[in-house]
Structure 1
Amino acid sequence: MWKWLHPYAKTENAYALCNTLLPWFWAGTCVFLSVGVVWGLVFAPQDYQQFESVRIIYIHVPSAILSMGAYVAMAVAALVGIVWQWRTAFMTMIAIAPVGAVVTFVALFTGAAWGKPMWGTWWIWDARLTSELILLFLYIGVIALYGVFDDKQQAGKAAGVMALVGVVNVPIIHYSVVWWNTLHQGASISKVDKPDVADPMLWPLLICLAGFAFFIAAVSTVRLKSEIVRREMHRPWVQKLVSNDGVSSDAI
């Protein structure tokens, strides 16, 4: 089942895969994000209760959903690294972590900006908001723990364990509006059979979601390429790559 993945345990193959995927990720980002944002912010109808303030959903909802998605991806990379001892998996994990942290911060910030006119306050210790804040702390914890160790293989193992333990927070975030009485509204677009969002607002929201996903993938891939080059600078293939690009090794 996992045989197709095994070649990418080699950093050279992983780097080549990054080069293959990156143009597609950037293309998807440009197409979906530009269409979704323009459609949502300019042409989509306003809400009959929230009026124009509802347009923040085209930023807030994708960032909130993908803050959890990025964490799951990071945890999967950590699991692969711990089980099969792949350096490339740990590199992927730490490449995703800062991107996920920024996306989580965007979700919290836009949620606060949305909460002020709707709830009358910037912040409340609501179950959904609190668990999302914990997610941000988990991202920061993984990044900090990885940076403590000089041996990056050991750093990957330690940070990977933390990432795996923290994944329990993801279902808590998702089901917090069901398990507790919260101010935050319940699930909307995750109701696949009948979403609570009207089609004229749902389609630009889904396109924005795809655009954000492509953007996170693109930035994480760029970070992974940089991490591979930095960690593998002593390898002949990296030296050849650097010399072909006309960049001194001291500059990387």
Structure 2
Amino acid sequence: MWAFINKLRSPKWFYDISARLQPWFWAAALILILVGSVWGLAFAPADYQQGNSFRIIYVHVPAAFLAQSIFVSMAISALAFMVWKIKICDMAAAMMAPLGAAMTFIALFSGAVWGVPTWGTWWMWDARLTSMLILLFLYLGVIALRGAFTSRDSASRAASVLAMVGVINIPIIKYSVDWWYTLHQPATFTITGRAAMPMEMWLPLLIMVLGFYSFFIALTLMRTRSEILRREANKRWVRELAWEAP
């Protein structure tokens, strides 16, 4: 573990290793999302209660999963940055935040669209919905803090503290349907429990979730590589890359 942490201290090492990993995750994202979309939207059977309106689940659930996972990843990166001063972790956290905000918005919007035929309204001050809205504000707060300071170090520390404090909202989102009365349905499927839908319906959903996570990793690697070049522009190895570029 310590050897890996020491390697992470080198932006050049991360830049090189991410160049080899990035194409694989882009390919996985493309294949998985394509297969999951076609299977879920065209071939999965309609729900016996909701009909075809349930198919929005193939966007809503992956986006909601990713919105929460990205914030947890940001909090872990923030902790590593604050404790071990690993610059790559701060760069990655900064690059994750816009995608996390976008996924939270997609989850809220798709949930609202789904709520009209299911609940008869696009919005309720439901525990799950409200905590997801708070998550969106937390993302926007992290993004705003990074632009509110003239000092990059001060901005990074402030954003890191908010990410570490705000991560307490994630278990609230997850367990809100168990702790309070809520219109939102329980988890569609879990790792340990039995799925609440037939295999021909949840398998394409699982494929979509994996595709979204692959997209997140690929995009984060790509954006972090760009951020490394921006922040390390004065380093010798970056200048050498610029000279070698065609």
Q: Secondary structure at the match of 1:234?
A: coil
Deviations 1:25-84 (A, max 9, x none): 101101111111110000000100000001000000011111101111111110100000
Structure 2 distance, partners of 1:2, 1:100, is 29
Q: Secondary structure at the match of 2:214?
A: helix
Asked whether 1:222 is paired with 2:213, we answer: no
What is the number of residues matched between the two proteins? 246
1:25 and 1:214 in contact (8 A); partners too? yes
What code does the residue aligned with 1:222 have?
A: M
Asked whether 1:177 is paired with 2:177, we answer: yes
Q: 2:2 aligns to what? A: 2
Equivalent residue runs for 1:10-49 within 5 Å: 10-49=10-49
Q: 1:250 aligns to what? A: none
Deviation at 1:191, TM superposition (A): 5.7
Q: 1:187 aligns to what? A: 187
Equivalent residue runs for 1:225-244 within 5 Å: 225-244=225-244
Asked whether 1:77 is paired with 2:68, we answer: no
* Structure 1 range deviating more: 193-202 or 72-81: 193-202
Deviation at 1:151, TM superposition (A): 2.3
Deviations 1:111-168 (A, max 9, x none): 0110011111111111100100111111111111011122222221111010000000
What code does the residue aligned with 2:23 have?
A: P
Q: What is the TM-score when the length of structure 1 is the normalising length? A: 0.95
What code does the residue aligned with 1:66 have?
A: L
From the superposition, tell whether residues 177 and 222 of structure 1 become closer, same or farther in structure 2 (CA, over 3 Å).
Answer: same
Structure 1 distance, partners of 2:127, 2:201, is 26
Q: 1:148 aligns to what? A: 148
1:78 and 1:161 in contact (8 A); partners too? yes
1:9 and 1:89 in contact (8 A); partners too? no
Deviation at 1:17, TM superposition (A): 2.0
From the superposition, tell whether residues 41 and 141 of structure 1 become closer, same or farther in structure 2 (CA, over 3 Å).
Answer: same
* Structure 1 range deviating more: 186-195 or 49-58: 186-195
2:8 and 2:86 in contact (8 A); partners too? no
Deviation at 1:200, TM superposition (A): 0.6
Asked whether 1:162 is paired with 2:166, we answer: no
Instruction: Provide structure 1 residue ranges, at least 5 long, that are not aligned to the other structure.
Output: 247-252
Structure 2 distance, partners of 1:133, 1:144, is 17
2:71 and 2:167 in contact (8 A); partners too? yes
Structure 1 distance, partners of 2:94, 2:118, is 36
Report percent identity of matched pairs.
49
2:131 and 2:169 in contact (8 A); partners too? yes
1:77 and 1:90 in contact (8 A); partners too? yes
1:143 and 1:159 in contact (8 A); partners too? yes
Structure 2 distance, partners of 1:110, 1:201, is 18
What code does the residue aligned with 1:70 have?
A: I
